[in-house]
Amino acid sequence: MSTAGELLEVSLGPQHPSTHGVFRMNAVLDGETIVKLKPVMGYLHRNHEQIGEGITYIGSFPFTDRLDYFSAMSNNFGLAIAIEKLGGITASERGEYLRIIMAELTRLVNHTAVTGFLLNDMGAFGTPLLYAFREREKILDLFEAASGSRMMCNYVRPGGVRQDVPEDWLKQAKEIVDHYPHFLDEFEKLLTENEIIRQRAQNVGVLSKELAVNASITGPMLRASGVDYDIRKVDGYSLYPRFSFRVPLGSVGDVYDRYYIRILEMRQSVKILQQALKDIPEGPAISPKGAAMGKAPRTFRPAKNEAYGRIEAPKGELGFYLVSDGSPQPYRYHVRAPSFVNLTVLEDLCIGHKVADAIIILGSIDIVLGEVDR
């Protein structure tokens, strides 16, 4: 380990399986230790915001599916919350329940998949990822039965959901949700106690509490650093205050905590889902105002106003900032993407670690390039 050695510049990505898409890390290495790392993004940039300014509010929904394509339902939910704020629309009660069920199922899908990918990055090729995908597929089948599409759901609308769920759907969902803790037990047996994972992940990429708050980190990554901030609790949007659940917190803020916090969050999501599936009332799935808006998008012309709506998406705070000028199209449509902002600290986390650690640190941040680049 000599510092006199020559520094080597390595470009990790953009075409590299470990970068979860087309993402590049320009790393400067001293031996195998990272001394500098600059993320380069934008390869998937399609100016989602400008597209959103050219179409109606409803027209943006299918595009939000493609932001974070692992959690389409949550993205729809975020935009719906922002539009409801802007236009003063209230949602029907059954609609709210269905949205919460969908959002929490999405959280299960996302956290399961990202845990699998993280393990893939660590070198456990295939096995944990396929175990994760096996379970994820069951939930995606539920999404298909309700919305018609596995991933690009385009289902949640301002005022509720587009269509009520089909018959027996709630029963099927209940079965899958009730089975989920067994899967999590199995998954944990496979991974949590595994010494190799502990060696690889513990005390790697430690994110301090102060830096996490200062760098606007949100979601599981923030809570892994021990900051108690969950928008479901803080804002209490939708009907979340009705459900009892806890916010798991990490203590160290390393990669291992970020892995484990996701497992714990899934257990809490299962708890919310069980309550929601039990209590869901009968009634219309969408409020009349929302239904009218879905049927004729151009009739929705909110008065000159602006709104910032945010939800706790699986990756963190997903915010939509809308400015209306009285026309059917938003004057300004901005997406505050959680994985984009969470990448701010990538360099801080990687410095001083080995190249192989940079890969798992990136994996533990949980980015989806559709959302980073927008």
Partner 1 sequence: MLPLEELKSVIQELLPGVPLDLEAGSLLVSSKDLITVCRCLKNTERFSLDYLANLTVVDYPPERMEVIYHFYSMLKKHGPVALKVKVEREKPSVPSVTPLWRGAEFQEREAYDLFGVVFEGHPDLRRILMWEGFKGHPMRKDYIVEDQDAVETLSP
Partner 2 sequence: MAFIGAGVLRGMGVTFRTFLETYPWGRVLLRGLRQPAVEGLVTIEYPDVKQKHAERFRYFPFLVYDGTPDNLRCVSCKICEQECPPQCIYITGPAKDEQGRPQKANGRTFPVEFKIDVSICMSCRICVDVCPFDAIEMDNQYELSSSERFGSLILNKQELLKPNEYFQRIKPTEASEVDARLAAKRPKPQPVFPPKAP
Under the criterion CB under 8 A, does residue 332 sit at the interface with partner 2?
no
Out of 306, 328, 351, 354, name the contact with partner 1 by CB under 8 A.
Answer: 306
299 binds, among partner 1, partner 2, none (CB under 5 to 8 A by kind): none
Q: Find the binding residues for partner 1 in span 233-262 (CB under 8 A).
A: 234
Tokens of 250: 């990490």
168 binds, among partner 2, partner 1, none (CB under 5 to 8 A by kind): none
Out of 32, 144, 178, 210, name the contact with partner 2 by CB under 8 A.
Answer: 144
Q: Which positions from 178 to 197 touch partner 2 by CB under 8 A, shown as an x/- string?
A: --------x--xxxxxxxx-
CA 289 to chain centre: 28
Which region, judged by CB under 8 A, interacts with partner 2, from 31-39, 100-108, 127-135, 242-250?
A: 127-135
- Nearest-5° Cα angle at 226, 222 to 231: 50
Q: Find the binding residues for partner 1 in span 172-211 (CB under 8 A).
A: 211
Out of 216, 263, 267, 301, name the contact with partner 1 by CB under 8 A.
Answer: 216
Q: Find the binding residues for partner 1 in span 90-149 (CB under 8 A).
A: none
CA 269 to chain centre: 13
Smallest gap, in angstroms, from Cβ of residue 140 to partner 2? 11
125 binds, among partner 2, partner 1, none (CB under 5 to 8 A by kind): none
Task: Return d(Cα 299, Cα 311) in angstroms, integer.
Answer: 26
Which region, judged by CB under 8 A, interacts with partner 2, from 56-64, 86-94, 277-285, 365-373?
A: 56-64
Task: Return d(Cα 155, Cα 105) in angstroms, integer.
Answer: 13
Number of residues this chain uses to bind partner 2 (CB under 8 A):
41
Q: What's the sign of the alpha-carbon dihedral 185, 191, 194, 198?
A: negative
Cα dihedral 91/158/242/316 (nearest 10):
-170
Q: What's the sign of the alpha-carbon dihedral 261, 266, 269, 270?
A: negative
Tokens of 235: 């804002």
Under the criterion CB under 8 A, does residue 247 sit at the interface with partner 2?
no
Under the criterion CB under 8 A, does residue 295 sit at the interface with partner 2?
yes
DSSP string, 43-81: TT---HHHHHHHS-TGGGHHHHHTTSTT-HHHHHHHHHH
Judge if the upstream peptide bond of residue 14 is cis by omega within 30 degrees of 0.
yes
Using DSSP bridges, classify how beta strands 15-16 and 33-40 pair: parallel, antiparallel or unpaired: unpaired
Residue 312 C-beta-side C-alpha neighbours within 13 Å: 23
Under the criterion CB under 8 A, does residue 177 sit at the interface with partner 2?
no
Which region, judged by CB under 8 A, interacts with partner 2, from 3-11, 35-43, 58-66, 355-363?
A: 58-66
189 binds, among partner 1, partner 2, none (CB under 5 to 8 A by kind): partner 2
Going by the DSSP 8-state scheme, the letter that residue 236 receives in this structure is: -
Smallest gap, in angstroms, from Cβ of residue 120 to partner 1? 26
Q: Where do the H-state alpha helices sit in the chain?
A: 48-54, 61-65, 72-87, 93-122, 127-147, 169-191, 195-201, 209-214, 220-224, 231-234, 255-279, 288-295, 338-342, 346-350, 355-365, 369-373
Smallest gap, in angstroms, from Cβ of residue 321 to partner 1? 6
Q: Find the binding residues for partner 1 in span 310-339 (CB under 8 A).
A: 310, 317, 319, 321, 323, 331-332, 334, 336
Q: Which is nearer to partner 1, 207 or 276 (CB)?
A: 207
Out of 61, 240, 260, 340, name the contact with partner 1 by CB under 8 A.
Answer: 340
Smallest gap, in angstroms, from Cβ of residue 215 to partner 1? 4
Under the criterion CB under 8 A, does residue 152 sit at the interface with partner 2?
yes
Under the criterion CB under 8 A, does residue 373 sit at the interface with partner 1?
yes
Burial string for 20-55 (b: 16+ CB within 10 Å, else e) reads bbbbbbebebbeebbeebebebeebeeebbeebbeb
Task: Give residues in contact with partner 1 (CB under 8 A).
Answer: 41-42, 45, 47, 49-50, 211, 213-217, 227, 229, 234, 305-306, 308, 310, 317, 319, 321, 323, 331-332, 334, 336, 340-341, 343-345, 373-374
